[in-house]
């Protein structure tokens, strides 16, 4: 079960609305597709790491493909189906990480040295904790990412963030949602879409 806002720790919290890329089906007419609203919330956990929550509200979940529960293990290709994504960049550097969270409980973490340039041999040494619930009108996924999975930054460094989602419809089409989109084709890796800031819990203590 996802934590309600009243249960969240008293730390800076950001909630934003995601919007579909103009090339996504039904993007031209708001509310005409199966997704009503898609909200994303993030905050740095007091114990370290970060929490990301994605919420589909006022939606027709029966018109979406929601991956069935699976063992919570690392898996590739999650973005080919309904999947929620987080991108974390280091200010002033081309490096960034990509996190995929599936409603199935499966996940993936990738490290990049530049735009779509994967770091060979990178393997996550820890696993995020994923919880997902849904009913006829809503779906909530929460992912808790341990500190060891975040990019290593000096104390006091905040991370640049992009929050996004791929939504698979039962008619076979994919919708691409994000806080900000690249103008031509959907590209969650475009660095100018990393427009949010995560105040990390790695600051020096007084």
Specify the pTM.
0.91
C-alpha–C-alpha distance, residues 200 and 147, integer Å: 9
pLDDT of residue 154: 79
Strand-pair partners of 163: 86
Buried b (16+ CB within 10 A) or exposed e, 69-84: eeebeeeeebbebbbb
10 Å Cβ neighbour count for 56?
A: 27
pLDDT of residue 46: 82
Nearest CA among 191, 182, 189 for reference residue 23 = 182
* Alpha carbon distance, N-terminus to C-terminus of the chain: 35
Mention every residue, 6+ apart, whose C-beta is less than 8 A from residue 180.
Answer: 162, 192, 193, 195
Mention every residue, 6+ apart, whose C-beta is less than 8 A from residue 78.
Answer: 100, 101, 102, 106, 107, 108
Could you state, in chain order, the average pLDDT of each consecutive group of 10 residues for the chain (206 residues)?
51 90 83 91 89 96 96 96 97 95 98 95 94 96 95 85 97 95 92 92 43
Q: Hey, is 146 helix, strand or coil?
A: coil
pLDDT of residue 2: 40
- Tokens representing 34? 């199966």
pLDDT of residue 7: 62
**H runs (alpha helix) in 64-201:** none
pLDDT of residue 201: 54
C-alpha–C-alpha distance, residues 123 and 125, integer Å: 6
C-alpha–C-alpha distance, residues 135 and 116, integer Å: 35
pLDDT of residue 32: 78
């Amino acid at each position: 079960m996802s934590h309600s806002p009243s249960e969240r720790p008293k730390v800076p919290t950001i909630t934003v609305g995601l919007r579909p890329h103009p090339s996504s089906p039904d993007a031209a007419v708001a509310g005409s597709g199966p997704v009503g609203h898609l909200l994303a919330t993030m905050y740095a956990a007091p114990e370290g790491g970060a929490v990301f929550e994605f919420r589909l509200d006022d939606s027709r979940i029966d018109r979406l493909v929601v991956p069935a529960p699976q063992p919570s293990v690392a898996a590739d290709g999650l973005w080919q189906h309904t999947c929620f994504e987080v991108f974390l960049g280091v200010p002033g550097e081309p490096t960034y990480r990509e996190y995929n969270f599936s409603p199935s409980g499966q996940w993936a973490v990738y490290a990049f040295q530049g735009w779509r340039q994967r770091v060979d041999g990178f393997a996550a040494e820890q696993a995020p904790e994923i919880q997902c619930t849904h009913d006829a009108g809503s779906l909530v996924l929460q992912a808790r990412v341990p500190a060891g999975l975040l990019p290593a930054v000096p104390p006091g460094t905040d991370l640049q963030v992009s929050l996004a989602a791929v939504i698979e419809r039962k008619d076979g089409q994919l919708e691409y949602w994000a806080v900000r989109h690249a103008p031509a084709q959907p590209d969650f890796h475009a660095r100018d879409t990393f427009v949010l800031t995560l105040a990390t819990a790695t600051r020096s203590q007084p």
